[in-house]
Each structure stands twice: as structure tokens, then as C-alpha cells.
């Protein structure tokens, strides 16, 4: 790490993205914190225009600062979507200063917005790791978990309702089958009882002949049979008047 004079209100330290610049003293809003510097590159020169690194700071269409040198402590300042500082660019002087746009407390990391082009080229592909984006992702993850839990609970309620409906349908079907069986059984018993009653009354379903029930005598009395009158031998009647008188 580069040596920084003790009178400077910042230090280089470990950050969530590697190294970062942190305040060591209170920094008031509007204060120029540090200058971003390095060799000037002329875009009209092929040699300068061919240089590529993450620390290039474009001043205008022609001039660019190559801030990759180690003496440029400002290169350790990380990007933030909601920063506490900003870059104050002076193209004519070919200088850039990092200025506080909020009151910065000791121990707080100093950061500024790198701009849309840098964000799209370097940060978006890997995902921005600034505090604001981390909070946003954390919130999104929490919302996703809540939505997942809501959908799971909804599916469980739906499954429970379906199970209850199925159980109710099965119970109703079982009750109907039982009721049908009972009606069938009663009908059968009724038919059997009707047949027995008719048999006990001495009648068959297909006739009127009398029957005798086993173990019982019939209470029907037979009509008495009259004895035939005796037949007497017929004898001729003797008339007293017709007999001859003795001589």
C-alpha cells in the first residue's frame, strides 16, 4: 500500500471489493478530498490510444488520465451507485479532484460514481458490489424468499383443500353405497317375509292348494260324512183279501 501522510484525512484499507479508501477524520460536504492523477494520454496518438486498463479517467474526447500508477492513491476509491463523493473534472486544467457531497464520518469508505460507460463495461457483467446494490440484492432475495414461501403456502392450502374435497367425495360415495346396500337388504327381507307369510296362510304364490305346516295340525275341520241309509230287502206285500178261503 502507498504511504500516506498522517495529516491526510484518509487511508487505504480492506473493502468488500478488495482495497478501498477510508476516512480517518470527519470530512465535511464540499471538501476536496484527493486529486486523481497520472500520465496524460493523447487519443490522437496510436500508442496512447492503445492503452487499456481499469484506471483510465477520460477528461474529454482527446485527453485521458492513466491513473494506474501506484502514487495515485485516488485509484483505490471504489464505485458506488449512491456515493458520498463525486469527481470534479476540470478539462482545461486537465485535472480531476474527488470532492465530498455528504458529510463523511471517520471509518466510512469514500466512494463515487464511475459513470455509465465504466459501469456497463466492468461492473454490470460481474454485478456491482456497492452498499446500495448489496442492499437492493438483499431486499430482492428477501422478497424472492417471501414469494417462494407464499407460493408454497398457497400450494399447501390448495393440496389440503383438494384432499379434503376428495375425502368428502369418498365419504359421500361410501355412504351412498351403504345406503344402497341397506335398501337392497331391506327389499330382500321384505320379499322373503311376504313369501313366508303366504306359505303360512296355506297358499303358494302360484296356487290356492292347502298345505300342512310341519309340526302343526290343521285347524280346518273336515265336514262330517253322512252314513248311507241301510237298504232293506223288498218283500212283496201279502194282501189278506187276496188269499183263498179254505174249503
d(C-alpha 69, C-alpha 58), whole Å: 16
Predicted pLDDT at 225: 56
Place of cell 457531497: 101
4-51 pLDDT per residue, tens: 877 899 999 999 888 999 999 999 999 999 999 999 999 999 999 999
Least confident of 18-22, 54-58, 62-66, 127-131: 127-131
Nearest C-alpha neighbor of 13 from the set 73, 67, 92, 69: 73
User: Mean pLDDT of all residues in the chain?
Assistant: 83
Predicted pLDDT at 183: 87
Alpha helices in the chain (DSSP H): 46-49, 116-118, 131-200
**What's the pTM value of the predicted model, to 2 decimals?**
0.60
d(C-alpha 58, C-alpha 145), whole Å: 42
Mention every residue, 6+ apart, whose C-beta is less than 8 A from residue 57: 36, 38, 64, 65, 67, 87, 96
Predicted pLDDT at 87: 95
Predicted pLDDT at 88: 94
Is 87 in contact with 59 (CB distance < 8 Å)?
Answer: no
Alpha helices in 78-130 (DSSP H): 116-118
Amino acid at each position: 500500500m502507498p504511504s500516506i501522510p498522517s495529516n491526510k484525512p484518509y487511508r487505504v484499507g480492506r473493502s468488500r471489493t478488495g482495497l478501498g479508501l477510508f476516512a480517518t477524520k470527519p470530512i465535511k460536504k464540499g471538501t476536496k478530498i484527493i486529486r486523481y492523477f497520472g500520465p496524460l494520454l493523447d487519443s490522437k496518438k496510436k500508442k496512447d490510444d492503445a492503452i487499456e486498463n481499469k484506471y483510465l479517467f477520460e477528461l474529454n474526447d482527446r485527453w485521458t488520465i492513466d491513473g494506474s500508477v501506484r502514487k495515485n492513491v485516488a485509484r483505490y476509491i471504489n464505485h458506488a451507485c449512491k456515493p458520498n463523493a463525486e469527481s470534479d473534472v476540470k478539462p482545461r486544467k486537465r485535472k480531476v479532484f474527488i470532492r465530498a457531497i455528504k458529510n463523511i464520518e471517520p471509518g466510512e469508505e469514500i466512494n463515487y460514481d464511475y459513470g455509465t460507460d465504466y459501469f456497463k463495461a466492468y461492473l454490470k457483467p460481474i454485478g456491482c458490489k456497492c452498499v446500495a446494490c448489496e442492499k437492493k440484492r438483499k431486499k430482492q432475495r428477501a422478497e424472492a424468499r417471501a414469494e417462494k414461501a407464499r407460493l408454497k403456502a398457497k400450494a399447501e392450502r390448495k393440496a389440503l383443500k383438494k384432499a379434503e374435497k376428495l375425502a368428502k367425495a369418498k365419504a359421500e360415495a361410501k355412504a351412498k353405497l351403504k345406503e344402497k346396500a341397506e335398501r337392497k337388504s331391506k327389499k330382500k327381507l321384505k320379499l322373503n317375509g311376504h313369501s313366508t307369510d303366504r306359505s303360512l296362510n296355506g297358499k303358494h304364490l302360484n296356487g290356492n292348494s292347502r298345505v300342512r305346516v310341519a309340526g302343526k295340525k290343521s285347524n280346518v275341520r273336515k265336514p262330517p260324512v253322512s252314513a248311507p241309509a241301510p237298504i232293506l230287502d223288498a218283500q212283496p206285500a201279502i194282501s189278506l183279501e187276496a188269499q183263498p178261503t179254505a174249503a
